[in-house]
Amino acid sequence: MDTIKKFALFFSDLHLGKGDGLDEFHCDKDFKALLDQISNDHKSDEIDLVLLGDVLDLWAVELEGEQMDYKVTPVTELRKVEEIIRAHGDVFKALGRFLCTGEAPRRLWYIFGNHDHSVCHPEIQKRISMEINRGGNGIREEQIQFRTYYLDTKLKVYAEHGNQHAELDVMAYRQFNSFGKECPG
């Protein structure tokens, strides 16, 4: 009898865009194939799939009819997420398939980065979760977690995006001295 192993798999800085010239991600099929291969190779293992920030590149999505200096609101950010979903639907399908295959529990941890920090908004999280579970894959709500960092004491792993070192970053963390709701990355 095989024993269940647990491991965490990390992806960072995919920078999914809306499929235009600013979109840095062009590996949808390869990403799907990689997740399928991992699913096949580790059917009986418990896996935490950690998307470690800047998965969506909301900074690089220009909205039709909007000036680049428009006010960032949950409504405009949700429109950007919709553009990214249209361009990279296969990535979201692959994530959903990954979560519902295998014999042991699987979870997706979406850690916000600086380019997708708006994913901290509950409506945006709801939309991303809905897309991952499109077609009623049977994914349970607790299988998709949105957080500012990943921590697994069993694996003895802590991870965050790391955007506090970006010199020109919108968020300044010079006064950072404790962890709270807004982890600096």
Cα dist from 113 to 24, 35, 55, 56, 118, whole Å: 16, 22, 8, 9, 9
Binning pLDDT at 50, 70 and 90, where does residue 179 land?
very low
Confidence at residue 164, expressed as pLDDT on a 0 to 100 scale: 56
Integer Cα distance of 28 and 10 in angstroms: 17
pTM for this predicted structure: 0.85
pLDDT single digits (tens) 152-167 = 999 999 999 976 555 5
Q: Give the mean model confidence (pLDDT) for residues 46-70.
A: 88
Query: 65, 55 in Cβ contact below 8 A?
Result: no
Q: Which of 175, 174, 89, 184 is nearest to 134 (CA)?
A: 89
Binning pLDDT at 50, 70 and 90, where does residue 27 land?
very high
Binning pLDDT at 50, 70 and 90, where does residue 68 land?
low
